[in-house]
């Protein structure tokens, strides 16, 4: 199995009466609630957490894109990835990802991902989410009727830009460019591995099958509720004659580990409570702009779309309910080991994206959890799916061809700082 | 309440198929509906059918009309309006449009000024002023939208609409009929959003001076969805337009004050002022 530390980067300082005073954490939450000085501290603290995961031997460290909210402060994940690429020499960089329809022209994504791949020596995983309706429709004004078609066209353009060695013209419906000619282009050939986050639509499964992409199921409802969804994915692949390689799937799970089960509840409950009840305080009036969902999804999810986003995502639940429902995998290293093994085997997924930072958790608590995972849990789960070939991880440059950040200055210093010749 | 006749019209290959509701005898009146569609033959319609042959085509996504995929942008939508007019055999008709339909009617009259005989716009969308933002009908819960649509929240149509929005509540005990009602509302909103999301303004203001059809602008004095500020802009920018404010009406003038609204439309149809 492969393990990544996936960070959401929530804002930690929402006021105590936030839920009563504001209808949601996203889109129109006024930014006078954001203190940029505290934000400065938070960004650096959060990046420290990811750097620590790099030191502990995680396969990847992950960031994502959201806009205008206190749930996740990464409107530009590529900026975070760039900061990590320089400071973290080991782990792959999982950007999950860039919402393709938001970039004009989408070549921008091809360029920035290529830059990240080149800077990091070929360690980039390129994620292409459609994006939540809050992000892409309400914050970024994309038309819900056409945004999926625009996304697909942008995808085709990015892949072609990555894989074409001569300038070409792109006459798309949404993007028209006389000259597409990517400088730089990625190290990884033919292009970095692509992961597609989704929430269970057949269209997305087929998209992944068509192009051989990893399907990443990102929910906060935990692995028990995800089982049916992932079974649908594997059945769809089987029906289409695609192999059942577990590395075709990634799953996000929030995890907290303390020395004992009871210490875990005591230490983590306030921060998990902050996450489920503040960070996921979503206004249902902006859950899905009209047309964001297909007619079939609309019919299937008619209740979910119009009012009950709260019922599924863990709000107003006790610690016990969150743990029993596996919204959280929480407890001692032994408890977490057992539950994550169950997760891996029940979902048959090879890539596990783990949320170790939850809600308002501070760095000492978070790093303790990360450390316990890396030393007490990860080694026991490593061998699961050892027989399968992971074709969805980066293929970086060999170590001897990699340039370490700062190493060039060391070599140049003597010459640069020599006395001025008279 | 009378029942209009419904028929389907195929506009041709690669074009929508639309449902048209028709009732009444007299000169033709082309009625272009708002984002709520024509869920019932109510409001101003039963009053107008006493004097007009009322043709109410439904946009794709509303009623039994299909083919939204053939209409990509605002120009397609405006041309679709002329396709429908032609299919109905209407020449230089009197066109009445409400809200979204009013915007469409104004665009049609500005694009091909000589093909619209007479125009009545009832609280049309299509303009924008920062000091009076149009309510975001695509970014709120249905029960939150209703107060924007009525002047008097206690009037029976407002109460009925409030009751209907309860279908959107978190309860999971809807009948199949109720699910279908919800889905049809959502389909209509999807059509509206395709042309009006996220800001219902696409340059109509600079085209308004092109309109030559004698134009009546009707507005409720208590419109909370589209502030009466917009009524004055329409009336100023459309040459020789007449503005008629309807007292004690909100955005859905036809549901709250159908009689004075219908009288204004009919007077205007007779060439009166």
Interchain pair B190, A145: CB under 8 A: yes
pLDDT at A307: 40
The whole-angstrom separation of Cα A359 and Cα B49 is 60
pLDDT per residue over A300-342, tens digit each? 766 444 444 445 688 889 999 999 999 999 999 999 999 999 9
pLDDT score recorded for residue A418: 94
Chain B partners within 8 Å of A139 (Cβ): none
Task: Check residue A30 and give its pLDDT.
Answer: 98
Mark yes or no for CB contact B197/A289 under 8 Å: yes
Q: If pLDDT is split at 50, 70 and 90, which confidence band does B189 have? A: very high
Q: Which residues contact A216 (CB under 8 A, 6 or more apart)?
A: A96, A127, A195, A196, A197, A198, A249, A250, A251, A252, A351, A353
pLDDT confidence of residue B272: 67
B94 inside 8 A of chain A by CB? no
**Residue A397 DSSP class:** P
Pick from A284, A289, A311: CB nearest B141: A284
Distance CA B108, CA B79 (A): 8
What tens digit of pLDDT does each residue of B233-263 get?
999 999 999 999 999 999 999 999 999 999 9
| B178 contact A CB<8A | no
Taking residues B110-133, report their average pLDDT.
Answer: 98
Measured CB to CB, residues of chain A less than 8 Å from chain B are 27, 137-138, 141, 143-146, 284-286, 289-291, 295, 298-299, 302-303, 305-308, 311
| Bridge partners of residue A198, in order along the sequence | A217
DSSP assignment string, A341-382: HHHHHHHT-SEEEEE-S-TT--HHHHHHHHHHIIIIIHHHHT
Beta carbons of A39 and A73 less than 8 angstroms apart: yes
* Beta strands, E only, A181-248: 194-198, 214-217
ipTM computed for the complex? 0.93
Write the burial class of residue A34 (CB in 10 Å: 0-12 exposed, 13-18 middle, 19+ buried): middle
From chain A, the residues in CB contact with B72 under 8 A are 146
Instruction: Tell me what pLDDT residue A301 has.
Output: 64
Nearest chain A CA: its distance from B130 CA (Å): 17
Q: What is the 3-state secondary structure (H, E, C) of A71-99?
A: CCCCCCHHHHHHHHHHHCCCCEEEECCCC
Query: Tokens standing for A59?
Result: 């396969």
Continuous segment of H or E residues that includes residue A118: helix A107-119
CATH superfamily assigned to domain B5-269: Alpha/Beta hydrolase fold, catalytic domain (3.40.50.1820)
What's the mean per-residue pLDDT of chain B?
Answer: 95
pLDDT-derived band at B171 (thresholds 50, 70, 90) equals: low
Of residues A219 and A64, more confidence is placed in A64
Under CATH, which number does the domain A2-414 receive? 3.20.20.30
Cross-chain residue pair B138–A289, CB shorter than 8 Å: yes
C-alpha of B9 from chain center: 20
| Tokens found for residue A309 | 């986003």
Using the Cβ of B142 and the Cβ atoms of chain A, whether some distance falls under 8 Å is answered with: yes
- In the DSSP assignment, the letter for residue A32 is G
Query: What does the pLDDT look like over A267-296, one tens digit per residue?
Result: 999 999 999 999 999 999 999 999 998 877
Measured CA to CA, the distance from residue B166 to residue B164 in angstroms comes to 5
CA A236 to chain centre: 24
DSSP string of chain B? ----EEEEEE--TTS-EEEEEEE--SSEEEEE--TT--SSS-TTHHHHTTTSEEEEE--TTSTT-B-GGG--SHHHHHHHHHHHHHHTT-SS-EEEEETHHHHHHHHHHHHSGGG--EEEEES--B---TTSPPP-TTSS-HHHHHHHH-S-TTSHHHHHHHHHHGGGSS-----HHHHHHHHHHHHHHHHHHHHHSS-SBSSHHHHGGG--S-EEEEEETT-SSS-THHHHHHHHHSTT-EEEEETT--S-HHHH-HHHHHHHHHHHHTT--
On the question of pLDDT at A257 being above 80, the answer is: yes
Domain ranges of chain A: 2-414
A145:B193 CB<8 A: yes
| Cα distance between residue A143 and residue A141, in whole Å | 6
Rounded (10°) CA dihedral A303, A305, A309, A313: 90
Domains in chain B: boundaries: 5-269
């Amino acid at each position: 199995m492969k393990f990544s530390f996936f960070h959401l980067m929530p804002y930690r300082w929402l006021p105590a009466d936030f839920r009563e005073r504001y209808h949601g954490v996203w889109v129109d939450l006024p930014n006078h609630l954001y203190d940029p000085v505290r934000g400065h501290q938070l960004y650096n603290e959060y990046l420290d957490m990811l750097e620590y995961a790099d030191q502990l031997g995680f396969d990847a460290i992950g960031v994502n894109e959201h806009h205008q909210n206190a749930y996740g402060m990464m409107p530009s994940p590529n900026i975070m990835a760039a900061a990590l690429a320089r400071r973290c020499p080991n782990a792959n960089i999982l950007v999950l990802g860039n919402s393709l329809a938001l970039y004009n022209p989408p070549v921008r994504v091809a360029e920035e991902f290529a830059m990240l791949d080149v800077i990091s020596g070929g360690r980039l995983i390129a994620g292409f989410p459609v994006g939540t309706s809050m992000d892409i429709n309400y914050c970024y004004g994309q038309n819900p009727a056409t945004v999926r078609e625009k996304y697909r066209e942008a995808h085709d353009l990015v892949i072609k830009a990555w894989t074409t060695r001569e300038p070409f013209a792109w006459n798309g419906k949404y993007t028209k460019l006389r000259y597409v000619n990517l400088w730089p282009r990625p190290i990884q050939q033919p292009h970095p591995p692509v992961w597609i986050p989704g929430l269970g639509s057949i269209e997305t499964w087929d998209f992944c099958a068509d192009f051989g992409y990893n399907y990443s199921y990102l929910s906060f409802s935990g692995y028990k509720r995800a089982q049916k969804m992932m079974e649908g994915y594997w059945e769809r692949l089987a029906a289409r004659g695609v192999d059942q390689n577990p590395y075709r799937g990634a799953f996000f799970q929030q995890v907290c580990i303390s020395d004992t089960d009871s210490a875990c509840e005591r230490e983590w409950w306030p921060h998990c409570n902050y996450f489920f009840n503040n960070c996921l305080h979503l206004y249902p009036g902006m859950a899905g702009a009209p047309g964001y969902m297909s007619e079939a999804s609309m019919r299937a999810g008619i209740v979910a779309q119009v009012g009950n986003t709260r019922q599924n995502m863990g709000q107003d639940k006790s610690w016990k309910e969150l743990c029993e429902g596996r919204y959280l995998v929480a407890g001692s290293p032994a408890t977490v080991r057992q539950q994550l093994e169950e997760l891996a085997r029940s979902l048959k997924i090879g890539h596990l994206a783990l949320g170790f930072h939850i809600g308002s958790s501070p760095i000492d608590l978070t790093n303790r959890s990360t450390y316990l995972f890396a030393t007490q849990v990860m080694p026991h789960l490593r061998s699961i799916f050892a027989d399968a070939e992971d074709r969805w991880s980066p293929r970086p440059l060999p170590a001897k061809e990699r340039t370490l950040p700062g190493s060039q200055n060391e070599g140049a210093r003597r010459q640069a700082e020599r006395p001025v010749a008279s | 309440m009378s029942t209009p006749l419904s028929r389907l019209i195929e506009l041709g290959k690669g074009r929508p198929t639309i449902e048209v509701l028709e009732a009444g005898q007299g000169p033709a009146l082309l009625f272009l509906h708002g984002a709520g569609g024509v869920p019932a033959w109510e409001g101003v319609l039963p009053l107008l059918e006493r004097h007009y042959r009322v043709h109410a085509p439904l946009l794709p996504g509303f009623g039994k009309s299909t083919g939204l995929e053939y209409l990509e942008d605002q120009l397609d939508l405006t041309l679709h309006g002329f396709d429908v007019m032609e299919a109905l055999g209407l020449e230089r008709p009197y066109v009445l449009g409400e809200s979204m339909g009013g915007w469409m009617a104004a665009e049609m009259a500005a694009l091909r000024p000589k093909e619209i005989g007479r125009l009545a716009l009832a609280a049309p969308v299509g303009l924008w002023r920062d000091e009076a933002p149009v309510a975001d009908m695509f970014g709120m819960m249905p029960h939150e939208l209703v107060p924007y649509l009525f002047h008097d929240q206690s009037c029976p149509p407002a109460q009925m609409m409030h009751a209907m929005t309860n279908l959107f509540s978190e309860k999971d005990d809807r009948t199949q009929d109720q699910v279908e009602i919800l889905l049809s509302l959502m389909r209509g909103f999807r059509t509206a959003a395709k042309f009006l999301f996220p800001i219902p303004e696409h340059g109509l203001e600079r085209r308004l001076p092109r309109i030559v059809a004698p134009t009546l602008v009707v507005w409720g004095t208590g419109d909370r969805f589209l502030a009466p500020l917009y009524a004055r802009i329409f009336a100023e920018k459309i040459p020789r337009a007449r503005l008629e404010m309807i007292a004690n009406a909100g955005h859905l003038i036809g549901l709250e004050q159908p009689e004075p609204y219908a009288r204004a439309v009919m007077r205007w149809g007779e060439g009166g002022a």
